[in-house]
Amino acid sequence: MPIVKIDDTDFTVEKGTSVLQAALANDIEIPHYCYHPALEIVGSCRMCLVKVEGMPKLQVSCNTFVGDVPSDKKIDGKYDMVVSTQDELVQQEQKNMLEFLLLNHPLDCPVCDQAGECDLQDYAFKYGNAHSRFEEDKRVRPNEYLGSQIVINHNRCILCSRCVRFTREISGSSELFVEARGYNSKISVLEEKPLDNLLAGNVADICPVGALLSTDYIHKNRIWNLDKQPSICQDCSVGCNVDVFHQKDQILRLTPRENHSVNKFFMCDKGRYGFHRFEEIERLTVPMIMSEGGFIETTWDEAIEKTVDELNGAGKGIAGIASPFHTNEANFMLGRLVNGNVGTLPPITSEEINYPSGFRISGDRSPNRHGMNDVCPSIVDDFASAVERKDIRFLYLLDDGIDRELNELWKGMLEKIDFVVVQSYAMTDVSKCADIVLPGQAPFEREGTITNDMGRVQWLRPSVTTKGESRPDWEIPMLIQSKHAGVEGLTDVSSVMNEMGKDFAAYSDITFFRLGDQGLPLNGKAEE
Amino acid sequence: MSNNGAPKQSFSFADPDKVQNILSQYPDKQSALLPLLHLAQSEEGYISSAVIDTISEIVDCHQALVMDCVSFYTMLYTKPHGRHIIQVCQTLSCSLNGADGLVDHVTAKCGIKPGETTDDNRFTLMKVECLGSCGTAPVVQVNNDYHESLTLEEFEKLLESLK
């Protein structure tokens, strides 16, 4: 394999690796804008220029590839390529490039939403000049909407064309194009074909500067005020890896997090903006018990005691409804509580979308159907008719949440059951059918593991604190089960995972530590 | 942006054989984009959004890609223009040799700024980038012909000759 020397270090790389890839893979920083690992190489920003020995002028490192050189032609008898990223000429060229890129830039970092995560800002600070020789008037263009959620600030744009390539290569929708040429170039969209596909939000993420902005986040906050929690999107069974940006228990935005086994670099707008629907809900924070006049508040002690009493009275007529919206741990504890006698509600589905790049939005809107089926193996899909056959007197439901609409068949069925416990975070359709409602966690409060539809177990981490007296979703069935069985309860979610591993071999070696931020395939069965 | 909200009409090439002939000359359809645009412009006068729709269907690519190409080339017009298109080179050599004076002359004489068309549809004035004839600056391209080393007087005569 070819050996490339970058600055003073030797690296053995695959033939055909670009100099930039070789450098980035080895933590050598070469500033770049137009290069993005998911997109075609265009070499247009000229920021990644390096000096390559034997070549007459500086080369763009993103588009210069290391090859096999015949042994008699090797440099110093050893190297296939010798690269300098720190040469004086390179440093001067970086300064010059930044001066060009900033010619018409408004230098409005104090009001720019990209500030703090802006490559232009960072590189200008690190590699640029503190001054410009451009004394003429700057070119000023008004902002434009490219689509309903994306606005462009042309003055900040450096025309790297990442966004254009994204719509051509990843979403395949080709809405964006570079209009005109030279000094008049700008990113544009046809009036009758705005940028309104379900992946549109990604262009704001891949924009290396503050040109493309999501209207959902614009002027809301400063990036350095926000906490970033790596987690998993819960809006379909793909399980895209995301970063949840939040402040003071309020979520401000979601961005995709790189995971090459799941979502690569991107996420869809359903998941990206989905968190808003949890903002306005009336969050249930105390246990509620049905009395003659409707629901009244009660304490946890009373609620659990009452539930255990009913459980004791129901004998063998107990069952549970697992939820593909809940973690493996919550479903596992539910299964344990009802002796594996578990059913489920009909799936919530939408159209499955496959993009030419391989990106997928699943038709199954629930994040954890695979995991639920794994830890509740004898699950009954057609539970409504099973109830007719069996004599079920006690039913414990893990509520799917605010997306669930309950049909008449189910409402009628729940009415027939003597005692219905619903664990939920809001007064949903399902909660309203309950005799007792136990307040669990809302989606962004949950912690545990979820398994995506390719069988990859991932660590779902909480971004906001659990509201009021609500308790973790795994803890509530655990408390009831341990009191009912007279055994000692489990203390934390890790011990639930441990127990789960004992019952289900596929989950036996799974811990948060091993899952890390990339997750694990179930027993190597998932596609790696 | 395409054709500023004008009512959308459909466009089809006058002679489908010509289109087939162009397509047959290239290994893939998209390569035929430029010749097809020129053909459409010769028939329609300019590239309307209807033209873009038709061509994007023929070469099997998105309209935005066609627009990308159309907007790149100054010889492809996205708006209807006058009978004579006066393109004044404004790049370095021409600029130094008085191209601005030529533009101002048209503006003073006909009352049109660059990019505009006279009311009688006689002239459309444009400033363009380098016409590649720096040795004979200033250069003006009228329709398909170059007029080189122009003085103001010669330019005036030239304008008068165009009806």
Q: Round to whole Å and give the CA distance between A368 and A454.
A: 11
**Is B62's CB within 8 Å of A180's CB?**
no
Alpha helices in chain B (DSSP H): 16-24, 33-44, 49-58, 63-72, 92-96, 99-110, 152-161
The pLDDT, as a whole number, for residue A388 is 67
- The chain-wide mean pLDDT, for chain A, equals 92
Interface test with A, best of B48, B51, B60, B62 (most A CBs within 10 A): B62
Bridge partner list, A438: A423
Q: Round to whole Å and give the CA distance between B126 and B107.
A: 11
Per-residue pLDDT tens digits for A149-186: 999 999 999 999 999 999 999 999 999 999 998 889 99
Closest Cα in chain A, distance from residue B1 (Å): 6
**With contacts defined as CB-CB under 8 Å, which chain A residues touch B67?**
177, 179, 188, 190
**Is B2's CB within 8 Å of A179's CB?**
no
Cα–chain center distance at A474: 23
Instruction: Please tell me the number of Cα atoms within 13 Å of A267 on its side-chain side.
Output: 29
The pLDDT, as a whole number, for residue A411 is 86
A75, A53 contact by CB (below 8 A): yes
Residue B83 is classified by DSSP as S
**With contacts defined as CB-CB under 8 Å, which chain A residues touch B129?**
182
Look-up of token digits 């549809």: B121
pTM for the structure as a whole? 0.89
> Strands A318-322 and A394-398, how do they pair?
parallel
Closest Cα in chain B, distance from residue A179 (Å): 5
B62 near A CB under 8 A: yes
Phi, psi (5° rounding) for residue B21?
-65, -45
User: What contacts A23, CB < 8 A, 6 or more positions away?
Assistant: A6, A29, A30, A61, A83, A85
B63 near A CB under 8 A: yes
Bridge partner list, A49: A60
User: What contacts A137, CB < 8 A, 6 or more positions away?
Assistant: none
Q: Round to whole Å and give the CA distance between A390 and A403.
A: 29
Per-residue pLDDT tens digits for A67-118: 999 999 899 989 999 999 999 999 999 999 999 999 999 999 999 999 999 9
The pLDDT, as a whole number, for residue A523 is 67
**Is B64's CB within 8 Å of A193's CB?**
yes
For residue B8, give the chain A residue with the closest CA.
A192
**Is A178's CB within 8 Å of B68's CB?**
yes
For residue B76, give the chain A residue with the closest CA.
A180
Q: Round to whole Å and give the CA distance between A476 and A399.
A: 13
Q: Which of A464, A405, A408 is nearest to A431 (CA)?
A: A405
B126 near A CB under 8 A: no
Look-up of token digits 């009831």: A480
pLDDT exceeds cutoff 90 at A495: yes
Q: Round to whole Å and give the CA distance between B119 and B45.
A: 17
Q: Round to whole Å and give the CA distance between B61 and B70.
A: 14
- The pLDDT confidence band at residue B2, using thresholds 50, 70 and 90, is very low
The pLDDT, as a whole number, for residue A406 is 87
**Option in A174, A180, A190 nearest B2 (CB):** A190
User: What contacts A451, CB < 8 A, 6 or more positions away?
Assistant: A328, A368, A370, A371, A374, A457, A458, A522
- The pLDDT confidence band at residue B163, using thresholds 50, 70 and 90, is confident
The pLDDT, as a whole number, for residue B1 is 40
Range name among A47-51, A402-406, B106-110 with the lowest pLDDT average: A402-406
The pLDDT, as a whole number, for residue B69 is 94
B57 near A CB under 8 A: no
**With contacts defined as CB-CB under 8 Å, which chain B residues touch A356?**
none
Residue A54 amino acid letter: G
In the stretch 156-215 of chain A, residues with CB closer than 8 A to chain B read 167-168, 173-182, 188-193
Query: 3-class DSSP state for residue A520?
Result: strand
Instruction: Please tell me the number of Cα atoms within 13 Å of A155 on its side-chain side.
Output: 14
Query: 3-class DSSP state for residue B84?
Result: strand
Per-residue pLDDT tens digits for A510-523: 899 999 999 999 86
Per-residue pLDDT tens digits for A61-74: 999 999 999 999 89
Complete edge-to-edge strand list for the sheet that includes strand B84-89: B123-128, B84-89, B140-142, B145-147
Reduced to 3 DSSP states, what percent helix, strand and coil does chain A have, rounded to the nearest 5? Answer: 30, 20, 50
| Burial class, B114, CB count within 10 angstroms (exposed 0-12 / middle 13-18 / buried 19+) | middle
Q: Round to whole Å and give the CA distance between A402 and A365.
A: 12
Mean pLDDT over A491-504 rounds to 93
Q: Round to whole Å and give the CA distance between A525 and A522.
A: 6
B127, B116 contact by CB (below 8 A): no
The pLDDT, as a whole number, for residue A527 is 40
A146 near B CB under 8 A: no
The pLDDT, as a whole number, for residue A262 is 94
The token pair that represents B55 in the structure block: 């061509």
For helices B33-44 and B49-58, the axis angle rounded to 10 degrees is 140
Per-residue pLDDT tens digits for A208-261: 999 999 999 999 999 999 999 999 999 999 999 999 999 999 999 999 999 999
Interface test with B, best of A165, A167, A179 (most B CBs within 10 A): A179
The token pair that represents A346 in the structure block: 């009909």
For residue A191, give the chain B residue with the closest CA.
B1
pLDDT exceeds cutoff 80 at A452: yes
A505 near B CB under 8 A: no
Mean pLDDT over B99-117 rounds to 93
Per-residue pLDDT tens digits for B55-107: 999 999 999 999 999 999 988 998 898 999 999 999 999 999 999 999 999 99
**Is B65's CB within 8 Å of A177's CB?**
yes
Q: Round to whole Å and give the CA distance between A168 and A203.
A: 12
Residue A191 is classified by DSSP as T
**Option in A179, A191, A193 nearest B71 (CB):** A179
Residue B97 amino acid letter: N
**Percent of chain B residues past pLDDT 90, beyond the cut:** 82
Per-residue pLDDT tens digits for A363-398: 999 999 999 999 998 887 767 776 666 678 899 999
A499, A490 contact by CB (below 8 A): yes
**Option in B63, B68, B129 nearest A193 (CB):** B63
Query: 3-class DSSP state for residue A200?
Result: coil
CB A407: neighbour CB atoms within 10 A? Answer: 12
Mean pLDDT over B1-21 rounds to 75
Look-up of token digits 């994007």: B56
Cα–chain center distance at A323: 21
